[in-house]
Amino acid sequence: MSPLRVAAVFRRIVAQFRRDPRSVALLFVAPLAIIALLGWVLGSQGAMAARVAVINHSTAPGAEVVVTRLESELEGQTGITIDRSVADDSTARQMLKDKKLDLVLVLPVDFSTQNRKIDLLTLGLNPTAEYASLPAVQKVLISALTDSTVGAALPTIERATVYGSPNATQLDSLAPVVVGFFAYFFVFILTGISFLRERIGGTLERLLATPVSRGEIVLGYSLGFGFFATLQVALVLAFVLGRLDIQALGPVPAFAIGLGVHTAGNPLISYLLVLVLGLGAVSLGIFLSTFARTELQILQFIPIVIVPQGLLGGFFWPIEQLPNLLQPVARILPVTYAIDGLRQVMIAGADLTSPQVLLDLGVLVGIAAVFVVLAAATIRREVA
Amino acid sequence: MTMAPTPPAPVTAPAHATLRPAALQPAVEATALRKDFGAIHAVDGIDMSLPPGRIYGLLGPNGSGKTTLIRLLMGLALATSGTAKVLGVEMPSRANLARIGYMTQADGIYPELSAWENLTFFAALYGQTDKAQLHAALELVELDTRANTPAQNLSGGMRRRLSMACALAHHPVVIFLDEPTVGVDPALRVQFWDHFHRLAADGATLLVSSHVMDEADRCDELVFMRDGHVLAQGTSAELRRRAGTDNIEAAFLRFATDPAAATGAAATPAPKAQPTGAER
């Protein structure tokens, strides 16, 4: 292993990269743009407006009181407006179809102080969006039914969490995922394509005609792309964790740069996790470039390599909720461990004394080591 | 990372210092060398021994196995059977590559990097970091004024020249040049050959492949290849005499149609080749 030759490969990759502004943009601007978009979307979700109607089909005593109470209390909730003009179920259904209502509460014919069942009616096109205002409605239901009707007082629930805050937004829990995933994705794509170019452009043949060893090539590549991954992760972390508020100036409204996500743990540990993940991605890119003949074929690896990691790595669903057959699959994916580690650090405030974080880090190092060996094995002198 | 037995000289030793003692052994040697790609015998049992200090022209039509032979000699392809030795060391040997120069048929340079960056990169892999010598290498191929131009903005001939500078900057003792003069203008081609002769005079061994015969007379010795076989080997004059023609292309065709005319493919012309040549 000659440091001179490793340094030569490293310098060459840095020089090549500097000459390629589009790749620089892909690495540095694209993740920020996507994260900013995500932050914007998730950050303003609470303000969703819902138009609600309450319909009474019951003649039981007290039903009318419940309706009045529901309406007045719902009106007090932000984002909810009450439409009192709707008289019956079929009108309400038509209004849902016409997009004039979002949510309808129906006190059925058999509603009484003993049978306090209330029907909730929505359009059913996009359940996630339709139920966005459900928590507010439920809260109101509880208090309306408890006070007005004769029955016993229902308990109210106040949420508390061990880590973070019960009011944590989706953004807080997604931030670690986003940081890890981007590092992996972009480093993989860039290394894969760079190394493919070596293979098809005749430079790998030329490289192997020199005394450089396969290990020196993989190490030089890892240092080169690791260097850019380092810069990228630093930038992404700074953007996710930091927040810079800009005052309104003339026609430009006030806005903030950065998401200002709270991190409970040391950002340097998050950084370490993502860096090891990225080094694994460098070797994976070199390894998979063996199986591609064109740059298009590198992109074909995205649905095979990247998307499953996004689906199974804990991005959308916890590993434990996956079907039994898929759980082992999820447990061999590097992104799974990065996301778990990042959540431990950023949300639970774990540090390097946490066995969980050490396990995640250890597995990531192991996976990276396996792919370094695989990558070196594919750089054969026999390239024909 | 696969390492053949330790080569006689360490990588860092000055290239020319190792040459003189080795002058007695062949610079390039192939023994029953064979390379199959499936059913195709790209190199079909070649025996060859090239003494040092000369320029050998490896001539043959497209697909005759020239590049595969060179890749076998470089250790870039693994032989199906037989051995390839360079400077007495069996290939593949990574350390031995430090004493070998290789100019590939494709340019094998990085299009985004400047001429200077390409040259310094490849030279560094050979341990050559002497700036003055690298400048001289660039001057030799007349690219000193284009040092900072990205390779992708150079003309085809300029890229060929840069590729040559990258192959020669570490002062190799054995040099394989795969179609080096393709796309190079005639004036510069003359300079290339002058330089090749200077390198040979300094003791280097050059194997230059070409599919055109008009460069044959610039070589000290010729190796005719066809269908993975060596048809004939010898000086241009010898081969023409053996074929009974004064045209080197006609000689090649003669050997191709009547391999018996070329028996005695070793450097010494076989007397028995004479009668067959005279039949014509």
- The pLDDT tens digits of the residues spanning A103-135 come to 888 888 888 777 778 888 888 887 777 777 777
Domain count, chain B: 1
**Arch. (CATH architecture) of A47-148:** 3-Layer(aba) Sandwich (3.40)
The whole-number pLDDT of residue A34 equals 83
Comparing alpha-carbon positions, the chain A residue that sits nearest to B106 is A202
Q: Are A266 and A345 in contact (CB under 8 A)?
A: yes
Give B108 to chain A, closest Cα distance, Å: 4
Contact B127 A202 (CB under 8 A): no
Q: Residue A190 — very low, low, confident or very high, per pLDDT cuts 50/70/90?
A: confident
Q: Where are the domains of chain A?
A: 3-43+166-378, 47-148
The mean predicted confidence, pLDDT, of chain A is 81
Q: Provide the pLDDT for residue A114.
A: 75
Residue B113 distance to chain A (closest CA, Å): 6
pLDDT at residue A332 above 80? yes
Residue B91 lies in a domain: no
Q: Quick one: average pLDDT of A62-67? A: 82
| A215 burial type by CB count under 10 A (0-12 exposed, 13-18 middle, 19+ buried) | middle
Q: With respect to residue B31, please indicate whether it lies within any of the assigned structural domains.
A: no
pLDDT tens track for A234-283: 888 888 887 777 677 777 676 677 777 777 778 888 888 888 888 888 88
Q: Would you state the pLDDT for residue A62?
A: 78
CB B279 within 8 A of CB B260: no
Contact at 8 Å (CB) between B87 and B7?
Answer: yes
Structure tokens given for A47: 């303000």
Out of A8, A15, A211, whose CB is closest to B94?
A: A211
Residue that wins the pLDDT comparison between A382 and A60: A60
Model pLDDT, residue A170: 66
Low-confidence spans in chain B with pLDDT less than 70: 1-24, 262-280
What whole-number distance in Å separates Cα of residue B252 and Cα of residue B256? 6
CB distance B203 to B175 below 8 Å: no
Q: What is the pLDDT of residue A381?
A: 55
User: Do the Cβ atoms of A282 and A225 come closer than 8 Å?
Assistant: yes
The domain containing residue B137 runs over which residues? 107-171
* Interface probe, candidates B6, B109, B125, chain A, greatest A C-beta count within 10 A: B125
Q: Read off the tokens for B8.
A: 């006689």
pLDDT band at A233 (very low <50, low <70, confident <90, very high): confident
Residues of chain A contacting residue B124, judged by C-beta atoms under 8 Å apart: 4-5, 7-8
Residue-wise burial string across B158-191, b where 16 or more C-beta atoms lie within 10 A, e elsewhere? bbbbbbbbbbbbbbbbbbbbbbbbeebeeebbee
Choose the mutation target among A12, A194, A214 for the interface with B, i.e. most B CBs under 10 Å.
A12
CA B263 to mean position of chain CA atoms: 23
Among chain B, residues having any CB pair with chain A shorter than 8 Å are 1-2, 11, 37, 68, 71, 74-78, 92, 94-95, 97-98, 100, 102, 104, 106-113, 117, 121-122, 124-127, 129, 150, 166
- Rounded Cα distance, B126 and A164, in Å: 55
Contact B209, B103 (CB under 8 A): no
The 10s digit of each residue's pLDDT in A145-162 is 665 554 555 556 666 767
Q: What is the pLDDT of residues A336-372, one digit of tens each?
A: 898 888 888 888 888 888 888 999 999 999 998 998 8
In this prediction, residue B267 carries a pLDDT of: 40
